[in-house]
């Protein structure tokens, strides 16, 4: 078992960074940094701090809300936030203290 943080970033589909959607870029960044994983979740509807509704409609998916969640140790969180600051990206996030680990045997394929 590890102690660390669950970090969830909130954005929407049409936000871009370095030519990619911010959600996809965050998942790729987690992989590049050697973090144990990241999950991108597409939302149906939400609203941001300005009160603007973001939703996924049949004809307009660009405004679809996105969450990217990862569980990291303290040192990994520090490295991640240092990297995000150096990238100059503007993101809302929630960072909660958690314990995490794996239970059971890994499945063989």
- Tell me the pLDDT tens digit for each residue of 17-63: 989 999 999 999 999 999 999 999 987 555 555 665 545 554 555 56
In 3-state terms, what secondary structure has residue 14?
A: coil
**DSSP strand pairing (92-100 vs 20-21):** unpaired
pLDDT of residue 87: 95
Mean pLDDT, all residues of the chain: 86
Q: Average pLDDT, stretch 86-92?
A: 95
What pLDDT does 76 receive?
97
Domains of the chain: 2-98 (3.30.70.120)
3-class SS letters over 51-80: CCEEECCCCCCCCCEEEEEEEECHHHHHHH
Average pLDDT estimate for 10-21: 88
Q: N- to C-terminal Cα distance for the chain?
A: 25
pTM for this predicted structure: 0.80
């Amino acid at each position: 078992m590890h102690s660390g943080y669950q970090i969830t970033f909130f954005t929407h589909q049409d936000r871009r960074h370095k030519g990619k959607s911010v959600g996809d870029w965050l998942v790729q960044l987690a992989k590049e940094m050697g973090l144990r994983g990241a999950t991108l979740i597409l939302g149906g509807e939400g609203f941001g701090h300005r009160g603007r509704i973001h939703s996924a409609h049949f004809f307009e998916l660009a405004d679809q809300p996105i969450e990217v969640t990862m569980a990291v140790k303290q040192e990994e969180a520090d490295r991640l936030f240092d990297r995000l600051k150096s990238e100059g990206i503007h993101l809302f996030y929630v960072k909660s203290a958690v314990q995490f680990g794996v239970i059971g045997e890994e499945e063989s394929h």
